[in-house]
Amino acid sequence: MKIDGIDKIIIKRLIEDARTPILSIAREVGVSGAAIHQRLRKLEKSKLIGGYHMVINPVSLGYNTTAFVGVYLDSSSDVASILKKIKQIPEVIECHYTTGNYAIFLKVLCKTNKGLMKILSSYIQSIPNVLRTETFISLEQQINRQIKL
């Protein structure tokens, strides 16, 4: 998909704030609001724009522990059933099927380290075919951004 300068401005403004009024963007680039709507629909249809999301600050809800968990499997032949069980754990906010040391790599949010221990021992490590896990606790997130256009 080829995007031009106007498309880039639209995307940049919406990345900064998805609630930016269409007319505000239209005035900035010198086209009509209808033209901006058409471009947005084109970008959505091409799947360049995958959606619009509200971002919740987990710390404000008491989730103070962010961890990354590498999951070693006995056999990767049963990944589908393992992922089905992982999806049932609400604290798991990302799950990646990966190459390398871990078959599965998770991002987990918990309120406390003790809560993380419970998620690991009572839920993740108790899933059949999970051999063991390796956990990294994030001390502070340094970068959080979208891909640059």
**What is the reported pTM?**
0.86
7-44, pLDDT tens digit by residue?
999 999 999 999 999 999 999 999 999 999 999 999 99
User: b/e map of 78-116 (b: 16 or more CB within 10 Å)?
Assistant: eeeebeeebeebebbeebeeeeeebbbbbebbbeeeebb
All domains of the chain in start order, with CATH: 5-45 (1.10.10.10), 58-138 (3.30.70.920)
Summarised one tens digit per residue, pLDDT across range 105-118 is 999 999 999 999 99
Q: Does residue 77 register a pLDDT over 90?
A: no
User: In this predicted structure, what is the pLDDT of residue 32?
Assistant: 96
